[in-house]
Amino acid sequence: MTALAKKPSKRRFLLASDHLDQCSELASILKSVGEVDTVSTAEIPEQPADQFSGVVVDINLRSPESVQRVRNKLRGDAYRSMPRLFVLADALHHAAMQAWALGATDTITRPFRPTDILQRIRSAFPDTENYDASDRGKTLNRGVEAAHAVIKKMFQRLPVGSPLTFEDLIEAENKILKAIKHSSLREWLTTVGCHHAGSYRHCLFVTGFAVAFAQHLGMREDDQRRLTRAALLHDVGKAFIPIEILDKPGKLTDEEILIIREHPRFGYEALAKQGGFPREMLDVVLHHHELLDGSGYPHGLSGDEVSDIVRLTTIVDIYTALVEKRAYRMPFTHARAFSVMEDMGGKLDQQLLQAFRPVAFGSH
């Protein structure tokens, strides 16, 4: 995995635009907090001579040519872990979705309000004079790598009979908790999004959201660890789903959906047979698709039959799935995803969902 780039001691921005004559106002705002290199999107360097604190992209997000050009330019290793602030011409849903699909870590909207923009810039691009970005980056990468190692064992070793042990999880959890505590959920999601795709990325995203939620709720450290393990393992059963279904580039057929819906049972049976996993972890693996009104699967549990740790994992799992880009649809905005979950009413623990709101909206 590529390490996070070591950032300069002073903020330095790369401002890329496909209408340079219209970005002088934004350049002036950026210059009040750092140095600015302004280039056309065609001139974005593949290997910047100096490291930047981040990239600010001001393009027509409705232009397929502009979008593809930026996607190709920012795909290289030099930009993978670099924060990306996108300018929206308006608040229309399409533009916002396109920005997130291009790896945005934050967005700003015209017309600019300098005070608000400066606050977003300082949040999106940390001032490295105030902390050691290198050490912080190493801590973050160690956490992501530890989580990835567990996911890799799940998907590659379990299906061929190699054991995944409870000790594997214990070894990873310290690094994961430390990574999110000493960096941020946003940085975790950005790093994972740059390096992983598909089911691996979903599991890593869910883990990040779950840990941040646990820390936001002020859970005891033991409970944070329990939730970390549960989030890491919740989709273990997908290791036993045929890859052509799991990674199908399009909507699933009804028959394929029935096969996917077997993954909670597959995961539970594999871990129960192996032994050594706490009952509550098995509960999450088997029941994270249960809903409080009895309409979930595989057992149609309802009300108090659904444990607290399952309720929490289910909220994080659904939210993550909605804000992720899928082969058959663009990602939902954070606001739309949260609204969809509020509309689910009694299917979810709405009190717990509202407690999750600051975590969800603080991640973008």
pLDDT, tens digit, for every residue of 127-150?
544 434 456 778 888 898 899 889
pLDDT at 10: 65
* Residues of the chain with confidence (pLDDT) below 50: 1-9, 128-133
Q: What is the pLDDT of residue 312?
A: 95
What pLDDT is attached to residue 90?
63
Q: What is the pLDDT of residue 7?
A: 40
d(CA 158, CA 272): 13
Query: What is the structure's pLDDT at 271?
Result: 92
Distance CA(275)–CA(331), nearest Å, equals 37
Q: Where in the chain is the domain with CATH 3.40.50.2300?
A: 12-124
Helix %, strand %, coil % of the chain (to 5): 60, 10, 30
Three-state SS at 183: coil
Looking at residue 211, its pLDDT comes to 92
The reported pLDDT for the residue numbered 19 is: 87
Q: What is the pLDDT of residue 340?
A: 96
Crossing angle of helices 308-323/279-287, nearest 10°? 40
CATH number, span 12-124: 3.40.50.2300
Q: Hey, what CATH topology would domain 133-361 get? A: Hypothetical protein af1432 (1.10.3210)
Beta strands in the chain (DSSP E): 12-17, 35-40, 54-58, 84-88, 106-109
**First CA to last CA distance, the chain:** 23
Region(s) of the chain under CATH 1.10.3210.10: 133-361
What's the pTM value of the predicted model, to 2 decimals? 0.64
CA distances (Å), origin 305, targets 52, 214, 285, 301, 354: 51, 22, 15, 6, 21
Q: What is the DSSP code (8-state) at residue 156?
A: I
**pLDDT score of 197:** 67
Q: What is the structure's pLDDT at 319? A: 96
